[in-house]
Amino acid sequence: MKIVVNGEQHQAEEPLTVTLLLQKLNLRSEQVAVEINLKILERGDFPTWNLHDGDKVEILSFMGGGSPA
């Protein structure tokens, strides 16, 4: 299946849960927020949430920032 992760096309094997995707990307689930097709997932849903062909996935985290926009 084809999914878009943070704006980039990815080819992935099904089934693929959010937890597995984060593992593949070397990301720690407790440090990120995941939005799929504009819906924000609860962290507790990561292990059971299966990604589907065409999904648009956004993975965000806290970055340096304060007052600057």
Partner 1 sequence: MNQDPLIIAGRTFRSRLWVGTGKYQNFEETRNAIEASGADVVTVAVRRVNITDNKSENLLDYLDPKKYTILPNTAGCYTVEDAVRYSRLARAAGVSDLVKLEVIGDERTLFPDTAGLIEAAKILIAEGFVVLPYTNDDPIVAKKLVDIGCPAVMPLAAPIGSGLGIRNPYNLKIILETVNVPVIVDAGVGTASDAALAMEYGADAVLMNTAIAGARDPLMMATAMRFAVDAGRLAFKAGRIPRKLYATASSPIEGML
Per CB under 8 A, residues contacting partner 1 are 5-8, 25-28, 31-35, 40-43, 58-69
Q: For residues 14 and 28, which CB has a smaller minimum distance to partner 1 in the complex?
A: 28
CA angle 46, 52, 54 (to 5 degrees): 125
Encoded tokens for 10: 């990815």
> Least CB distance from residue 15 to partner 1, whole Å?
20
Residue 18 burial (CB count, 10 A):
23
> Least CB distance from residue 12 to partner 1, whole Å?
13
Encoded tokens for 67: 């007052």
Q: For residues 1 and 32, which CB has a smaller minimum distance to partner 1 in the complex?
A: 32
